[in-house]
Amino acid sequence: MAHGKLLLALSMIAAAMPALAAGGDGPRPAAAPAGTPDTRYCMRIYAVTGTLIEQTKCWTREEWTKRGVDVDKDWPKEGVRVLG
Protein backbone atom coordinates (compact mmCIF):
# COMPACT_ATOMS: atom_id res chain seq x y z
CA MET A 1 0.00 0.00 0.00
CA ALA A 2 2.84 2.41 0.83
CA HIS A 3 4.34 1.80 -2.59
CA GLY A 4 1.04 2.70 -4.24
CA LYS A 5 0.88 6.04 -2.39
CA LEU A 6 4.48 6.80 -3.31
CA LEU A 7 3.82 5.97 -6.94
CA LEU A 8 0.72 8.19 -6.92
CA ALA A 9 2.66 11.09 -5.37
CA LEU A 10 5.50 10.76 -7.86
CA SER A 11 3.02 10.59 -10.74
CA MET A 12 1.36 13.81 -9.60
CA ILE A 13 4.72 15.57 -9.33
CA ALA A 14 5.76 14.39 -12.79
CA ALA A 15 2.46 15.57 -14.26
CA ALA A 16 2.95 19.03 -12.75
CA MET A 17 6.50 19.50 -14.04
CA PRO A 18 5.66 20.79 -17.56
CA ALA A 19 3.36 23.44 -16.08
CA LEU A 20 6.06 24.54 -13.64
CA ALA A 21 8.71 24.63 -16.36
CA ALA A 22 6.52 26.81 -18.56
CA GLY A 23 6.27 29.41 -15.81
CA GLY A 24 2.51 29.61 -15.98
CA ASP A 25 2.65 33.41 -16.22
CA GLY A 26 1.23 33.58 -19.72
CA PRO A 27 3.05 34.87 -22.78
CA ARG A 28 6.47 36.45 -22.36
CA PRO A 29 6.80 40.17 -23.18
CA ALA A 30 8.33 41.12 -26.55
CA ALA A 31 10.88 43.43 -24.85
CA ALA A 32 12.33 44.07 -21.42
CA PRO A 33 10.23 46.18 -19.03
CA ALA A 34 11.02 49.88 -18.93
CA GLY A 35 13.09 51.11 -16.02
CA THR A 36 15.43 53.81 -14.75
CA PRO A 37 19.16 53.94 -15.54
CA ASP A 38 19.72 52.10 -12.23
CA THR A 39 17.28 49.27 -12.99
CA ARG A 40 19.06 45.92 -13.17
CA TYR A 41 17.89 43.24 -15.60
CA CYS A 42 18.59 39.64 -14.55
CA MET A 43 19.13 37.19 -17.39
CA ARG A 44 20.38 33.63 -17.73
CA ILE A 45 23.97 33.17 -18.85
CA TYR A 46 24.96 29.95 -20.59
CA ALA A 47 27.18 27.64 -18.58
CA VAL A 48 30.93 28.09 -18.95
CA THR A 49 32.84 25.18 -20.45
CA GLY A 50 33.57 22.59 -17.79
CA THR A 51 30.42 23.19 -15.73
CA LEU A 52 26.74 22.42 -16.11
CA ILE A 53 25.62 25.16 -13.74
CA GLU A 54 23.66 27.91 -15.45
CA GLN A 55 24.24 31.37 -14.01
CA THR A 56 22.02 34.42 -13.73
CA LYS A 57 23.58 37.88 -13.92
CA CYS A 58 21.89 41.17 -12.99
CA TRP A 59 23.23 44.28 -14.68
CA THR A 60 21.89 47.65 -15.87
CA ARG A 61 21.07 48.19 -19.54
CA GLU A 62 24.35 50.08 -19.93
CA GLU A 63 26.35 47.21 -18.42
CA TRP A 64 24.60 44.67 -20.68
CA THR A 65 25.27 46.88 -23.71
CA LYS A 66 28.99 47.06 -22.83
CA ARG A 67 28.98 43.25 -22.95
CA GLY A 68 27.35 43.23 -26.39
CA VAL A 69 23.86 42.25 -25.23
CA ASP A 70 20.68 43.93 -26.47
CA VAL A 71 18.39 43.65 -23.44
CA ASP A 72 15.20 44.21 -25.45
CA LYS A 73 16.13 41.54 -27.99
CA ASP A 74 17.34 38.91 -25.51
CA TRP A 75 14.88 39.52 -22.65
CA PRO A 76 11.98 37.40 -24.01
CA LYS A 77 14.23 34.34 -24.16
CA GLU A 78 16.72 34.82 -21.28
CA GLY A 79 15.05 37.30 -18.89
CA VAL A 80 14.45 36.20 -15.31
CA ARG A 81 13.52 39.29 -13.27
CA VAL A 82 13.97 43.05 -12.93
CA LEU A 83 15.46 44.68 -9.83
CA GLY A 84 14.87 48.26 -8.89
Q: What is the pLDDT of residues 11-54, one digit of tens each?
A: 545 555 444 444 445 676 788 888 999 999 999 988 777 777 87
User: Quick check: 36 and 84 in contact, CB under 8 A?
Assistant: yes
- Cα dihedral 40, 68, 77, 21 sign: negative
Spatial distance between the Cα atoms of 56 and 41, rounded to a whole number of angstroms: 10
Query: What are the start-end ranges of the E strands in the chain?
Result: 40-45, 55-60, 79-83
Tally of CB atoms within 10 A around 6: 10
- Model-level pTM? 0.62
